[in-house]
Chain A
Amino acid sequence: MTILAPQVSVATVPVPYRVAGCSTESADTATIALEPVGSPLPAFTPGQYAMVYAFGVGDIPLSVCGIDGDRLTHTVRSVGATSRALWALRPGTKVGVRGPFGTAWDLRSASGRDLLVVAGGIGLAPLRPLVHGVLAAPEHYGQLNVLIGARTPGDLLYAEEVRRWGALVTVDRPDAAWTGDVGVVTALLDRAAFDPPRTTAFVCGPEVMIRAAARELAHRGVDPGRIRVSLERTMHCATGHCGHCQLGPLLLCRDGPVVTWTQAQSVLSVREL
């Protein structure tokens, strides 16, 4: 006889996951791999996020930066109490995970088109599984350009992988060994080979960078409905009930984090909305 576990709402109550691996990305940033202890959550899609709970501390939204079967990977930067606890995790520790939540990049809608990936800082994390998806089936897409901005060379995420992608990288503050570009990521657009009307862009990073990149892309002729940006606001519940993540008409936990520039343009042009 099978004893059925009571129905639990995975949207509200975390499911136990085990830290299967962790790697240091930079002084304040780490990537953790999580595997389900028992039943896994429903499948995640690139662009979506999980609420990851550090025992007794709290949970925060973290985009998936890698999906391998039931194994989820997240890159976390230590900026607050919960992110610090997650950043400091060691293999074997158990955490709680809720999800999947939010909208996805929707790579499928870009089939046959040129792809432009623009990332700033930790904004590269949610874009990583998107790039993986393209590289797994390059015949479905046109030209892929990955443009990355980082604060310093030491802050560049997934440095080894980024090199293999052939990404263009720029930094705000070079160190003595840096021979690459210095400056904002939008300056790299001149060196990317893409045909604006045939291009779908995927953008994530600090809001000021998203605004600058999306405006520039629209100016160059990329359809605003084909510019997909991933936005960030405070989230407590992730289920559309707590109200924290509002951005004008959007509840970003539900209507985002990935939205089109058509949706985002007007709300991001009002200060403190």
Chain B
Amino acid sequence: MADGGAPAVIDKAGLDALIAVLLGRGRTVIGPTVRDGAIVLAELSGGDELPYGWGVELEAGRYRLRGRADGAGFAHSAGPQSWKTFLHPPRERQWTAERGADGELAFSEERTPPPAFAFLGVRPCDLRAIEVLDRVLTGGPHADARYRGRRQRAFVVAVECTEPGATCFCVSMGTGPAVGPGYDLALTEVLDHEGHRFLVRAGTEEGEAVLAELPQRPADPATRTAARERVAEAADRMGRTMPPVDLRTLMRDTLEAERWNDATARCLTCGNCTMVCPTCFCTSTEDITDLTGDHAERWRRWESCFDLDFTHLAGGGSVRSSPRSRYRQWLTHKIGTWHDQFGSSGCVGCGRCIVWCPTGIDITEEAHALNAERAAAGQPR
């Protein structure tokens, strides 16, 4: 990976040019835009679709757009979607099968070419979420070939976080607000008396090549300093924290804690948290046939561990039949056993599960409560 050469500065016209260049390279550009009262991720055809002048107000169970006088384009935190929608789509065909007149079966793997995405506006927390998905879906003995195809072709434009939301806790999870590795281009939005501009660094050769096509100027010390300061300030304005303990051990120590009953009294087991989570990857398979009965297809769709059927064994019922056990599974997996299975935490601190929980269950509040209960019980940290 290239170390990016010298940083540059582009303005809003430069960002328009970036979208045009990516489109010109045959890419489908996905980025934030305002739709249906939220900032969603959608296909962009120009920079004017970016959410300039829009921010968000977040709280547990609450999401509202609010106008911003400063015209910032990326001063909003995570919306209801994440990049997994594009890399690990909600529904996907895996193969088709034909049964011939002689009863022979012929299976054909899904071979539609993967789209060449360009993701514009990937938050540092979400960039880490993509890394987590990479490990889950391509890091084991069996790689998900279709995920890998989409992932390898994707061009990532990260944007450092300068405006964390009230539900954000990336600092606790070590995932932001500064951008880590894995981007093709990284932007930091700067708005001050010198104007609205973006500090840009390239992380790959393709990133450098794209950057070279944009109207730009070399990064000046004032812009660099301003960018650094805005990210540093963001780190000090996190709305939430996780308890400063080893969360993996905390989950292991508290499997029978009273607190699970408290959380479960509020949990509707709706699965919203799993749908909005940028790393929740679970799926179910669906087998269908057409009317002739000789053409069959295998589909895969997102599934939630909150669904009663998730652990259903034919002849044996569901292993996790109580809501308590299903909420516990989600949380202990996310920040505990994910380490055992995939070598990292499954939580990146984006706060989506807090915002989109209809009853406002807060993962950080639950972790603090479990930690307090363990401390009160005198168990070692």
Contacts and interface: CB of A to CB of B under 8 A. Distances in A.
Interface of A: 6, 8-9, 11-16, 37, 53, 55-60, 77, 79-83, 92-96, 232-234, 236-237, 239-244, 246, 248-251, 254, 270-273
A83 B316 CA distance: 13
State the majority secondary structure of interface residues on B. mixed
Majority-rule SS of A interface residues: loop
Given A233-B313, A244-B284, A270-B255, A8 B109 contact: yes
A251 B343 CA distance: 13
A252 B101 CA distance: 38
Contact of B287 (A6, A56, A93): A56
Interface residues of B, number: 52
Contacts of B329: 246, 273
Contacts of B284: 236, 242, 244
Nearest to B138: A241
Contacts of A244: 282, 284, 303, 310-311
A234 B145 contact: no
28 contacts: A9-B142, A9-B145, A12-B94, A13-B95, A16-B105, A56-B288, A58-B287, A79-B314, A79-B316, A93-B103, A94-B99, A96-B107, A234-B311, A234-B312, A236-B285, A237-B283, A240-B136, A240-B142, A242-B282, A242-B303, A244-B282, A244-B303, A246-B305, A246-B333, A249-B340, A250-B340, A251-B341, A272-B322
B104 A16 contact: yes
Contacts of A14: 95, 97, 105, 107
B105 A234 contact: no
A239 B140 contact: yes
Contact of A12 (B109, B136, B283, B310): B109
A83 B107 contact: no
A16 B103 CA distance: 11
B144 interface: yes
A138 B284 CA distance: 44
B303 A243 contact: yes
B321 interface: yes
A69 B340 CA distance: 36
Contacts of A6: 109
A94 B255 CA distance: 46
A8 B313 CA distance: 29
B105 A94 contact: yes
A236 B296 CA distance: 17
Contact of B315 (A11, A12, A56, A79): A79
B325 interface: yes
A95 B315 CA distance: 23
Q: What 4 A-B pairs have minimum CB-CB distances, sorted nearest first?
A: A80-B314, A79-B315, A249-B340, A243-B282
Nearest to B297: A56
Interface string B272-316: 000000000111110111000100100010010100001111111
A256 B302 CA distance: 24
Contacts of A59: 285, 287
B337 interface: yes
Contact of A241 (B106, B137, B311): B137
A242 B107 contact: no
Nearest to A51: B285
Given A92-B103, A272-B319, A56 B313 contact: no
B97 A55 contact: yes
Contacts of A80: 314-315
Contacts of B296: 55-56
A245 to B, nearest CB: 9
Given A12-B109, A241-B281, A242-B284, A254 B141 contact: yes
A233 B341 CA distance: 16
